Amino acid sequence: MKILLAEIAKHMVDYSDQVSVRETDGAHTIVLELAVAKQDIGKILGIRGRNIQAIRTLMAAVSGKINKRIVVELIE
Express each pLDDT in 18-27 by its tens digit: 999 999 999 9
Adjacent-strand bridge partners of 24 = 31
Q: What pTM was estimated for this model as a whole?
A: 0.90
Domains of the chain: 2-75 (3.30.300.20)
Q: How is residue 65 annotated by DSSP?
A: T
Digit-coded pLDDT (tens) for 12-55? 999 999 999 999 999 999 999 999 999 999 999 999 999 999 99
Burial class (CB in 10 A: 0-12, 13-18, 19+), 26: exposed
Using CA atoms, how far apart are residues 20 and 61, in angstroms rounded to an integer? Answer: 22
At 76 the pLDDT is 80
